[in-house]
C-alpha cells in the first residue's frame, strides 16, 4: 500500500522527539520534521554532532541514552513542561553488535547487552513512557526497524534479533495502544548511506551493485507514516521501490480482537 505523499503533510504546531538524531536517518528526520513545521526535540549520545544538527535545523538538542528509563522520564517531563506535550516520536537510534565481520561465538555478554539496550530497550521503553503523553493527543510513533527484522541478516545475527523483536512488538502492541489513542508503526529500510556502514560492509554492497537509500528518503517516509491515520503498519523502503506495506504470510496466531 503506497503511503501518502509526504509533501502534503504538515506538522505545524506539533512536538516531535527524534532519537539517534546526530547523524544518518535521525538527523534527516529531525531536519525534515522541522521543515514540515514541527517543534523537534533531537536526541543522541553524541553530544557535539547532535548539537551541530540541531543548530543547523532549529531543533532542540538533548543528550539522551535511549536505554535509560530515568533519562526518558526526565526528557518527557521537561518537554511537557516546556512545550505542553508530545505529539509524535521517531524512535530511530540503533547500532550494530560489533564491527563486521565477526564470529557469533566471539560476541560477549557486554556486546549483547549493549545492542539489545539501544536497539530494543531504546524502542520499548520510550513507547511505554510516551503512550500516556502522546495517546491523549491522538499522536503517533514510528520505530526504525530494518529489512533485517523481516529475514535473516547473516553478517549480524544479534542486530537481526533486535530488529525482529521491534517488528513483533509493534505489530503486537499497536492494537492495545490504539485504544489509548496512540498510533504505532515500524519502518524497515534497506541499505541506507549512514555512518553505520563500515568499509567492509561498503565493499560487499559495491560487489552486489546495490543501490543505497539516501537518509532523506527514509525521513520523508517516516513523516508520511507519522501522519498515517491507521496503526500497526510495518512498511519497507528500498531504493527504487518506495514505501510499501509488508505482506506478512498468514501466521498461526489469531488476529487481535
Pairing of strands 88-91, 15-18: parallel
Instruction: Report the C-alpha gap between 74 and 55 in whole angstroms.
Output: 22
CA distances from 180 to 30, 128, 154, 216, 224 (A): 26, 12, 38, 31, 21
**Each residue of 200-218: b (16+ CB within 10 Å) or e?**
ebeebeeeeeeebbebebb
H or E stretch at 236:
strand 234-238
> CB neighbours (10 Å) of residue 95?
15
Starting at the earlier edge strand, list the strands of the sheet with 88-91.
Answer: 60-63, 39-44, 15-18, 88-91, 140-144, 183-189, 234-238, 242-245
H/E element holding 25? helix 24-35
Q: Distance between CA 45 and CA 173 in Å, rounded? A: 27
Catalytic residue from among 102, 154, 159, 246: 159
Instruction: Report d(CA 79, CA 250) in Å as an integer.
Output: 41
| Residue 159 bears catalytic tag | yes
Which residues are identified as catalytic? 159
Amino acid at each position: 500500500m503506497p503511503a501518502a505523499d509526504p509533501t502534503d503533510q504538515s506538522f505545524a504546531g506539533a512536538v516531535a522527539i527524534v532519537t539517534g538524531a546526530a547523524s544518518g536517518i535521525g538527523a534527516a528526520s529531525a531536519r525534515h520534521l522541522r521543515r514540515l513545521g514541527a517543534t523537534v526535540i533531537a536526541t543522541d549520545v553524541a553530544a557535539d554532532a547532535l548539537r551541530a544538527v540541531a543548530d543547523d535545523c532549529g531543533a532542540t538538542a538533548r543528550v539522551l541514552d535511549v536505554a535509560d528509563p530515568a533519562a526518558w522520564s526526565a526528557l518527557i517531563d521537561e518537554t511537557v513542561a516546556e512545550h505542553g506535550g508530545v505529539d509524535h516520536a521517531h524512535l530511530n537510534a540503533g547500532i550494530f553488535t560489533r564491527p563486521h565481520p565477526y564470529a557469533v561465538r566471539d560476541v560477549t555478554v557486554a556486546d549483547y547487552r549493549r545492542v539489545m539496550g539501544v536497539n530494543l530497550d531504546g524502542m520499548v521503553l520510550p513507547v511505554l513512557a510516551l503512550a500516556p503523553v502522546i495517546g491523549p493527543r491522538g499522536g503517533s510513533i514510528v520505530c526504525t526497524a530494518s529489512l533485517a527484522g523481516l529475514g535473516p541478516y547473516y553478517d549480524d545475527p544479534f542486530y537481526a534479533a533486535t530488529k525482529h523483536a521491534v517488528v513483533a512488538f509493534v505489530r503486537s502492541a499497536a492494537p492495545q495502544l490504539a485504544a489509548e489513542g496512540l498510533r504505532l508503526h515500524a519502518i524497515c529500510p534497506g541499505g541506507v548511506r549512514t555512518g553505520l556502514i563500515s568499509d567492509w560492509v561498503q565493499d560487499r554492497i559495491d560487489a552486489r551493485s546495490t543501490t543505497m537509500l539516501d537518509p532523506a528518503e527514509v525521513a520523508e517516509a517516516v513523516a508520511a507514516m507519522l501522519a498515517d491515520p491507521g496503526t500497526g503498519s510495518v512498511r519497507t523502503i528500498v531504493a527504487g521501490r518506495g514505501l510499501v506495506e509488508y505482506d506478512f504470510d498468514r501466521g498461526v496466531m489469531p488476529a487481535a480482537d
